Amino acid sequence: MERIYTIDGVRKASLAAKTKGQRVAFVSTMGALHKGHLSLVTLARDHADVVIASVFLNPTHFAEGEDYDRYPRQADEDCRLLEGAGCDIAWIPPVEDIYPFGVGEHVRVHFDRLGAYLCGKTRPHFFEGVTTIVLKEFIAVVPDVALFGEKDFQQLVVCRGLVKDLSLPIEIVAGPTIREDDGLAFSSRNTYLTAEERARAPALFQSLQLVKQGLIPQTANFADLANAARQKIGSAGMTVDYFELVHPETLDPATESDPVVVAAGAAFLGATRLIDNVTIDRSL
C-alpha cells in the first residue's frame, strides 16, 4: 500500500489509474480505524479496481469544547489496518494542505436542509464540516465511487444530497453498520468509555431493537415507541440527545404510513456521545 501526503499526489495517482481504465473508490475517514471503517474498504474492492482511503482528522467537524484534542490519532496503526484490509492508497494530508488559508478562513459548503435535522440540531456546525471536507476530498481524489457507513446515517444522506445537488459524477455506496457482539456499533469514540460505561453502552442499540420490533405492526404508535426507546436509554444512565423516527431520504419525521422508517438516536454516556440507527422495513 502506498502512503501519499499531498493533494497533488493523490490526484495524480487517481487520474493515472483512471487513464488506464481503472475505477477508483474512495473511503473518507478521520482515522482511529476499526472494523466499521475496514468493512468499507473491503466493500470498496467490490466496486472498484483501486481503493483510496483518507486518514484526516478534520478540525471543522468539531466545535469549540468538543473532543478534537483528545480524539485518538494513530496514523501508523491506521495504515497497517488499511493495508490488511486491501487498501491501495492511504492519503494522509496535513491540515495546512486541506485548509491553506487556515481553519475558519476556508470555503464553507453549507447544505442547510438536511443538516438541520437530528445531529444537526445539537451539533449545528457539524454537517458544514462534513460537506466541506467531503467536497474537498472529492475534488482531490476524483473518485468514481465513494463509500459511507450507515452507522452515520444522516452523514450518508447529506453526502448523497451533496452529490445530487452539485451533479457530481460520483456513485455513493452505503455499507452496513458493523457491531460488537453485544450490538454496540463500532466507533472511534468507544475508546473513551470506561469499563463500566462500556457495559451500559449497548442500551442504545437495544432501544433501536425495541422500536424495530414495535414498528412492524401497522398499528404501531410512533410517539409511544420513541418514548419507550428514550426511557430504555435513560434507564441505562445515558442522557438522550435525541431519539427520532424519520423518513430515510428526507429525514422528515416519519409518518405511520411510511413503509420504511429510520430510527435514529444519540445519547451521552458520561462525556461520550454515541449515535446509532436502524432502518426498518415495515412491509416485511
Q: Which residues contribute to the site for ligand AMP (CB under 6 A)?
A: 29-30, 36-37, 39-40, 148-149, 151-152, 175, 177-178, 185-188
Cα separation of 265 and 277, whole Å?
6
Which residue, 55 or 240, is less far from ligand AMP as judged by CB? 55
Residue 61 Cβ vs ligand AMP, minimum distance, rounded to whole Å: 8
Which residue, 37 or 232, is less far from ligand AMP as judged by CB? 37
Which residue, 136 or 225, is less far from ligand AMP as judged by CB? 136
Q: Is 232 left (phi over 0), alpha (psi -120 to 50) or beta?
A: alpha
Residue 137 Cβ vs ligand AMP, minimum distance, rounded to whole Å: 11
Contacts for 136 with CB less than 8 Å, ≥ 6 apart: 98
What number of other Cβ atoms are within 10 A of residue 224's Cβ? 10
**3-class state of residue 282 by DSSP:** coil
Q: Which of these, 32, 86, 80, lies nearest to 56 by C-alpha position?
A: 32
Dmax over CA atoms of the chain, in Å, equals: 57
Residue 263 Cβ vs ligand AMP, minimum distance, rounded to whole Å: 16
Residue 23 Cβ vs ligand AMP, minimum distance, rounded to whole Å: 19
Active site residues: 37
* Sole residue written with cell 480524539: 71
Cα separation of 90 and 148, whole Å?
16
* Beta bridge partner(s), residue 277: 264
Which residue, 178 or 220, is less far from ligand AMP as judged by CB? 178
